[in-house]
């Protein structure tokens, strides 16, 4: 099948959630024999390490355009207030990218897969009968922000943002042939906008490269080591690490003298300052290969209190056979997982610390939980099968597209 694929995120190196998903789906589609013409954005922060060669090995062509995300902290003007288009869309407008997509459709691919909501405006209103799947649709974040807002100004601002967001996407999403979301909860939120008929909304969770994590990189984990494998450039990750360090880690340290936390991923200096000098917290900054650090951990902690989707950090730990302790929010979207069998769940500092302490002191139980989690990842969260679920939504070349 000839696929036209649009990704706002430059997929390689696959070093954050969106890039990971985009890269692995593209790779699996290529491995399945599909011919891919990729149109992708390029962010400034990745420009110096963008791996064009890896993408060109997978794709017939790669067209790259500068991409700047909407700055959620900036103030808009009266035109933004009166516009029916959310600023997250109007501020990412790119005429060159739009022209590239129009040209891509004129080449008559068998289908188009557009990744994330940000791709939607670049899909022509009339794609000449070519089926289009909008992949990884997420709409619940705006609703969650409105529900959690405190103070009159914040309530009014987030309420207006939600109303504009919902009205815009209620119209826009209906013009696609199929939509995918990463969790059942997110799919329900999408269906609440588009209705229960068409387009279909299919759950395709995040996955993990099972083979990549198949072998440990150190013979023995470091005693007392917990890991948080997530960049602190993302707000919910910062919140999670602060909560763990301030309220949970001291409780663990009372029972486990060598307890400490390793945090991977990029960390802005201002974010690290509150933890500076804490001997129980180690920051790795950006690493090109997380496997050795992940393998050095006794447990993986996911103390997330906000956010949605399927947690790639948990899937990475499962594939690497590192047992996980998570909040229920952190483990949301992981269908098939059971508390006590595949991971431990806890939502208060006392309960979270207790779960970590138990696992740190029980090697046999760690091994049992890690083995069951690895098996679940192999069965339900491997990228090959997940990529196939998306292309299975598309009609065979030459088939009547009316039934999509």
CA-CA distance, 279 to 249, in Å (whole number)? 12
Residue 258 corresponds to which tokens in the numbers above? 């060598």
Residue 338 corresponds to which tokens in the numbers above? 């059971």
Looking at the 3D structure of the chain, how many domains does it have?
2
pLDDT band, very low/low/confident/very high, at 86 (cuts 50, 70, 90):
confident
Same domain membership, residue 227 and residue 101: no
pLDDT at 214 exceeding the cut of 70 = yes
Of 70, 71, 80, 90, nearest to 160 by C-alpha is 80
Same domain membership, residue 71 and residue 24: yes
Which one is predicted more confidently, 80 or 86? 86
Confidence at residue 383, expressed as pLDDT on a 0 to 100 scale: 95
Same domain membership, residue 274 and residue 159: no
DSSP state of 118: G
pLDDT band, very low/low/confident/very high, at 69 (cuts 50, 70, 90):
confident
Same domain membership, residue 87 and residue 229: no
Could you tell me which residues are beta bridge partners of residue 180?
202
pTM score, whole prediction: 0.86
Same domain membership, residue 101 and residue 203: yes
Q: Which residue has the tokens 């990029």?
A: 266
pLDDT at 372 exceeding the cut of 80 = yes
Q: Residues 307-334: what's their mean pLDDT?
A: 88
Burial of 50 (0-12, 13-18, 19+ CB in 10 A): middle
In angstroms, what is the C-alpha Rg of the chain?
22
Confidence at residue 112, expressed as pLDDT on a 0 to 100 scale: 97
Same domain membership, residue 198 and residue 337: no
Q: Which residue has the tokens 């759950």?
A: 203
pLDDT band, very low/low/confident/very high, at 403 (cuts 50, 70, 90):
very low
Same domain membership, residue 102 and residue 176: yes
Same domain membership, residue 376 and residue 387: no
pLDDT digits (tens, 9 = 90+) for 224-254: 999 999 888 778 888 999 999 999 999 999 9
pLDDT digits (tens, 9 = 90+) for 284-311: 888 888 899 999 999 999 999 987 656 8
Find the DSSP H helices in 281-399: 291-295, 312-319, 349-360, 363-380, 383-391
Which one is predicted more confidently, 353 or 126? 353
Same domain membership, residue 361 and residue 267: yes
Same domain membership, residue 203 and residue 258: no
Is 373 within 8 Å of 342 (Cβ atoms)?
A: yes
Which one is predicted more confidently, 34 or 128? 34
Same domain membership, residue 199 and residue 123: yes
**From 89-93, 315-319, 353-357, the region with the lowest mean pLDDT:** 89-93
DSSP state of 208: B
CA-CA distance, 343 to 87, in Å (whole number)? 39
Identify the domain containing residue 365 by its residue range.
211-380
Which one is predicted more confidently, 116 or 157? 116
CA-CA distance, 89 to 289, in Å (whole number)? 33
Q: Residues 317-321: what's their mean pLDDT?
A: 95
CA-CA distance, 387 to 267, in Å (whole number)? 31
Confidence at residue 399, expressed as pLDDT on a 0 to 100 scale: 60
Q: Residues 33-49: what's their mean pLDDT?
A: 93
Residue 32: CATH number of its domain: 3.40.50.2000
287 Cα distance to chain centroid: 18
Same domain membership, residue 215 and residue 113: no
């Amino acid at each position: 099948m000839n696929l036209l694929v649009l990704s706002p995120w430059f997929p390689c190196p696959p070093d954050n959630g969106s890039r990971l998903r985009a890269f692995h789906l593209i790779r699996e589609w290529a491995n399945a024999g599909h011919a891919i013409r990729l149109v992708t954005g390029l962010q400034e922060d990745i420009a110096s390490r963008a791996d064009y060669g890896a993408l060109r090995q997978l794709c017939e062509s790669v067209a790259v355009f500068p991409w700047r995300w909407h700055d959620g902290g900036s103030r808009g003007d009266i035109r933004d207030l009166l516009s029916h288009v959310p600023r997250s869309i109007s501020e990412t407008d790119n005429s060159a990218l739009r022209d590239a997509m129009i040209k891509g459709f004129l080449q008559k691919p068998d289908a188009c897969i557009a990744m994330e909501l940000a791709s939607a405006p670049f899909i022509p209103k009339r794609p000449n009968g070519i089926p289009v799947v909008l992949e990884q649709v997420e709409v619940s974040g705006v609703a969650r922000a409105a529900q959690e807002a405190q103070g009159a100004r914040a309530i009014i601002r987030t309420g207006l943002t939600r109303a504009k967001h919902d009205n815009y996407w209620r119209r826009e999403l209906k013009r696609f042939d199929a939509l995918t979301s990463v969790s059942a909860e997110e799919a329900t939120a999408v269906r609440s906008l588009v209705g229960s008929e068409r387009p279909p909304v299919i759950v395709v969770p995040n996955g993990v490269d099972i083979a990549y994590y198949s072998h440990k990189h150190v013979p023995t984990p470091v005693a007392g080591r917990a890991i948080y494998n997530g960049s602190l450039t993302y707000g919910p990750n910062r919140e999670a690490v602060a909560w763990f360090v301030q309220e949970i880690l001291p409780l663990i340290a009372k029972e486990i003298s060598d307890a400490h936390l390793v945090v991977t991923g990029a960390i802005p200096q201002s974010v690290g300052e509150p933890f500076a000098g804490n001997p129980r917290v180690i920051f790795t900054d950006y690493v090109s290969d997380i496997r050795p650090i992940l393998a050095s951990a006794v447990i993986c902690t996911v103390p997330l209190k906000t956010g949605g989707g399927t947690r790639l950090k948990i899937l990475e730990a499962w594939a690497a056979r590192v047992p996980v302790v998570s909040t229920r929010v952190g483990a949301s979207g992981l269908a098939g997982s059971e508390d006590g069998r595949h991971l431990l769940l806890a939502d208060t500092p006392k309960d979270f610390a207790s779960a970590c302490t138990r696992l740190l002191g029980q090697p046999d139980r760690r091994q049992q939980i890690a083995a069951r989690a690895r098996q679940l990842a192999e069965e339900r969260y491997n990228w090959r099968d997940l990529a196939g679920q998306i292309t299975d939504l598309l009609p065979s070349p030459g088939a009547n597209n009316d039934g999509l």
